[in-house]
Chains A and B, each alone.
Chain A
Amino acid sequence: AQSVTQPDIHITVSEGASLELRCNYSYGATPYLFWYVQSPGQGLQLLLKYFSGDTLVQGIKGFEAEFKRSQSSFNLRKPSVHWSDAAEYFCAVGAGTALIFGKGTTLSVSS
């Protein structure tokens, strides 16, 4: 069955430090992979997506993610975190007709 695992429930990063959020997926075919961000009281906003081609994808707000088929991973990275990046981040795989989401990672940013 298709699934997405985000191993880290909560991460705290200092402002200006680098960030990596982990995502592992389970899907038999070529995966369509997404990262969404959700701020309190807001809907989910698409950060970036991977369909095919270059395994390093760039997204909005300075985020990037790297697809590694051998590790079934699609980790999200940002070189320098800003306080406004504090939010909940969801990795998702496009499976069949719908997206399957992980449980999310809450990012806190300390000053």
Chain B
Amino acid sequence: GAGVSQTPSNKVTEKGKYVELRCDPISGHTALYWYRQSLGQGPEFLIYFQGTGAADDSGLPNDRFFAVRPEGSVSTLKIQRTERGDSAVYLCASSFAGTPSGANVLTFGAGSRLTVL
């Protein structure tokens, strides 16, 4: 697509529920990132995919968070047993994968705002 698309744009759920957030990257971008942005903070890295595999998941806060990218395009961030502290905007970004990856120029989606009541 023309840009990075994230759905839903807003999600309200209850504590303890399961949530899925979807990201559709720019066509041809093999690198995909998930970030979390809490109120008043900068984006915090969660996970980086190179193709279908998670190349770096060091930012996932705990085992309630999981992400997949089965065909190397669309990615889904999954949160189990949601907690109020999970409330944030979840940002997805994609890029061409260069070397080193720290030099990749990321294009961000508008984000999915998650509210856990």
In the bound assembly, the distance between CA atoms of A79 and B115 in angstroms comes to 39
- List chain B residues, Cβ under 8 A from A98: 33, 45, 48, 56, 59, 101-102
Contact B42 A46 (CB under 8 A): no
User: Is the C-beta of B19 less than 8 angstroms from some C-beta in chain A?
Assistant: no
Residues of A within 8 A of B43 (CB): 44, 90, 99, 101
On chain A, the residues within 8 Å of B48 by CB distance are 97-98
- Alpha-carbon distance between A42 and B3 when the two chains are bound, in angstroms: 12
Kindly provide the distance from the CB of B103 to the nearest chain A CB, expressed in whole angstroms.
Answer: 5
Q: Is A53 an interface residue (CB 8 A)?
A: no
Docked complex: A15-49 residues within 8 A CB-CB of B:
32, 34, 36, 41-46, 49
Task: Among A44, A49, A96, A103, point to the contact of B40 (Cβ < 8 A).
Answer: A103
Quick one: which of B91-117 are within 8 Å of A by CB? 91, 93, 100-111
Give Cα A83–Cα B99 distance, bound, in whole angstroms. 38
Check A49–B105 contact: CB distance below 8 A: yes
Which residues of B approach A to under 8 Å, CB–CB?
Answer: 4, 33, 35, 40-45, 48, 55-56, 59, 91, 93, 100-111
Q: Which 4 A-B pairs have the closest CB atoms?
A: A94-B102, A101-B42, A43-B108, A97-B56
